């Protein structure tokens, strides 16, 4: 089975289930290794499939049934305002999940006719964003943190704290965007206690197995 066919089959398997399914079960159904299944699941996430990982009995991977939105009609002015606001959020680093926002803005921009897109480009040159942006965060860290937050996955962090760099295993309860930085409110899996981390101090991050 070619990879494109396997990815489609994997999406259909997930779409047809109401409960989670483990990587072992998916591997058996598709006739591939568990490692291949994890790579394919990552590919589906990269293609904006809202996959969630659920722990405990009956857990596993599940596809959000509401991932396909009904058509939404924007006027050219409404689309332009959304695009300008989204670009402002990117420039000011108001949210850490830049790649997902850019993909969404590209879809909104594609709804505009070509003349309106040209007019929007001209208008955007007349808008300036002034403020104190959050410190920059490595793109690889942003991607892992976004996936951990959206999929409710545990994540391992390498964090630069007051006492030096340490390894933390956490689940993310909430993301707080302050004026000058992004904060992660988490539950520390090893210390069984709440912990708050500054996103720009996370040096590396990786998802933990379900």
- Tell me how crowded residue 39 is: count the other CB atoms within 10 A of its CB: 12
> Are residues 90 and 54 part of one domain?
no
Short-list 152, 102, 134, CA closest to 201: 134
Q: Are residues 149 and 192 in the same domain?
A: yes
- Residues 113-135: tens digit of each pLDDT: 788 778 777 777 776 667 767 78
Residue 102 counted as domain residue = yes
In a domain, 68, yes or no: no
How many distinct structural domains can be found in the chain? 3
pLDDT of residue 197: 95
Q: Tell which of 36, 63, 90 closes a domain.
A: 63
Question: Is residue 26 a part of any domain in this protein?
Answer: yes
CATH at residue 203 = 2.30.30
pLDDT at 159 over 80: yes
Would residue 91 count as lying in a domain? Answer: yes
One domain for residues 145 and 203: yes
Q: Tell me the whole-structure pTM to 2 decimals.
A: 0.59
Q: In this structure, is residue 69 part of a structural domain? A: no
Residue 40 covered by a domain: yes
Which residue, 99, 80, 194, 201, is CA-closest to 146? 99
Query: Dihedral through CA 100, CA 91, CA 199, CA 37, nearest 10?
Result: 20
- pLDDT, average across residues 69-75: 68
Last residue of a domain, one of 39, 63, 87: 63
**Which residue did the predictor score with more confidence, 84 or 64?**
84
Contact 23, 36 (CB under 8 A): no
**Confidence at 205, pLDDT banded by 50, 70, 90:** very high
Would you tell me how many other CB atoms lie within 10 Å of the CB of residue 7? 18
Q: Which CATH number does the domain housing residue 46 bear? A: 1.10.10.10
Highest average pLDDT, of 65-74, 92-101, 107-116, 142-151, comes from 142-151
In this prediction, residue 118 carries a pLDDT of: 81
Which tens digit of pLDDT belongs to each residue from 179-198? 778 899 999 999 999 999 99
Give residue for tokens 């590919």.
Answer: 43
Cα 90 to the chain's mean position, in Å? 15
Distance CA 61, CA 40 (A): 12
Let me know whether 199 and 146 are in one domain. yes
Same domain membership, residue 83 and residue 44: no
Structural domain boundaries, residue 82 = 76-124
Assess if residue 110 is contained within a domain. Answer: yes
Strand ranges in the chain using DSSP code E only, listed in sequence order: 51-54, 60-63, 155-161, 164-177, 182-188, 193-198, 202-207
Region of poorest pLDDT, from 45-49, 61-65, 66-70, 168-172: 66-70
Q: How many residues does the chain have?
A: 210
Whether residue 204 has pLDDT greater than 90: yes
In a domain, 14, yes or no: yes
pLDDT class of 9 with cuts at 50, 70, 90: confident
């Amino acid at each position: 089975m070619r990879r494109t066919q396997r990815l489609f089959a994997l999406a259909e398997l997930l779409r047809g289930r109401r409960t989670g399914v483990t990587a072992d079960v998916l591997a058996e159904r598709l006739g591939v290794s568990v490692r291949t299944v994890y790579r394919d699941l990552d590919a589906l996430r990269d293609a904006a499939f809202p996959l969630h990982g659920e722990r405990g009995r009956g857990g596993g991977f599940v596809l959000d049934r509401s991932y396909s939105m009904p058509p939404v009609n924007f006027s050219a002015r409404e689309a332009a305002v959304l695009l300008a606001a989204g670009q402002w959020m990117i420039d000011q680093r108001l949210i850490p999940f830049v790649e997902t926002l850019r993909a969404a803005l590209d879809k909104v921009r594609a709804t505009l006719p070509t003349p309106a897109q040209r007019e929007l480009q001209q208008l955007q040159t007349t808008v300036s964003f002034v403020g104190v942006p959050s410190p920059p965060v490595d793109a690889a860290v942003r991607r892992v943190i976004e996936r951990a937050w959206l999929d409710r996955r545990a994540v391992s962090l390498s964090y630069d704290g007051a006492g030096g760099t340490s390894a933390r295993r956490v689940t993310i309860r909430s993301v707080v965007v302050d004026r000058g930085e992004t904060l992660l409110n988490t539950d520390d899996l090893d210390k069984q206690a709440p912990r708050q981390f500054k996103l720009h101090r996370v040096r590396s991050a990786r998802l933990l197995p379900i």
